Amino acid sequence: MKLDKPVPGGPCWTELGTSDLEGAKQFYEELFGWRPETDPRQEAGGYTIAHLGDAAVAALSPLYQESQPVAWNVSFAVTDADVAARLVVEAGGKVLVGPMDVFDVGRFAVALDPGGAAFQLWQARAFPGAGLLNEPGSLGWVELLTRSPERAETFYTTVFGWTVNASEHYTQWGIHGADFGGMITMDDKFPPEVPPHWLPYFAVEDVDATAATSTGAGGTVLMEPTSVPDGPRIAVLRDPQGAVFGVYVAGQEG
């Protein structure tokens, strides 16, 4: 990711909805060295912010609805959540939740793109988002997996004004050319029951060691550590509760 802090239109936060909050805390603490702090207020519903040092890097939370899947979610920064939500609808997407205020920290909405991938909008107030990006243990790349790449490109460039850096094998998203993520077309190798989704990648110092640590902590390696031609070494992992995420060697992203 060529962004070192949250900017309008770019990824600013990632949070895990999990069926076992305490188990997730233990897993990610062992994997990334996170220090989780759960908001004690009853109305916060167990929302937990993970830190590296003093920097907030991600969140973990219980599932709030029976229909909510165990999954990582990606939030994109906007200057006005209400305006962004209207753009989502006008561009062919759907708004599932909000926009609504979260205490005094910000205003958010949950949306679906035209292909069905969920994402969140975040209008910062007291909380701007991740205090660390691209460093080991923090968010460093976000990737859209979709069966409708052409519709996705039109949608996201309309809603967020992203730039597109497309090659024969991979499409990258950017803010004024500063790439922060990419897009993969879901082909027949993806089971039909796997929905389109956004996948966060966390930076690590050693992908192979992280994959081994994940396995030892009860996780699963879905894609073995692989060196991407002209790109980083990556792996895709699944935590013990079933949430999928990627890891890559810090400093080698696109």
Tens of pLDDT, residue by residue over 51-100, are 999 999 999 999 988 788 999 999 999 999 999 999 999 999 999 998 99
Which residue ranges make up each domain of the chain?
11-124, 139-249
Which of 58-67, 134-143, 154-163 is predicted with the least confidence, judged by mean pLDDT? 58-67
CB 217 within 8 A of CB 30: yes
Q: Output the pTM of the full model.
A: 0.95
* Span 139-249 CATH architecture: Roll (3.10)
Cβ-contact 135, 52 below 8 angstroms:
yes
Return the HEC string of 75-114.
EEECCCHHHHHHHHHHCCCEEEEEEEEECCCEEEEEEECC
Please say whether the beta carbons of 39 and 157 come within 8 A: no
Rounded Cα gap, residues 27 and 169, in angstroms: 33
- Domain 11-124 matches domain 139-249 at the CATH topology level: yes
Average pLDDT over every residue of 93-120? 96
Identity of the amino acid at 138: S
Of all residues in the chain, the percent with pLDDT exceeding 90 is 85
Crossing angle of helices 21-32/207-216, nearest 10°? 150
C-alpha distances in Å from residue 11, one per residue of 14, 82, 221: 8, 18, 25
What is the pLDDT averaged over residues 112-138? 96
CATH number of the domain at 11-124, please?
Answer: 3.10.180.10
Q: Mean of the pLDDT values across residues 3-8?
A: 90
CB 242 within 8 A of CB 70: yes
Distance CA 1, CA 141 (A): 6
- Per-residue model confidence (pLDDT) at position 68: 85
What is the end-to-end Cα distance of the chain in Å, rounded? 7
Is there a contact between 196 and 6 (Cβ–Cβ < 8 Å)? Answer: no
CB 77 within 8 A of CB 6: yes
Average pLDDT, the chain: 94
Which residue matches tokens 């050693």? 206
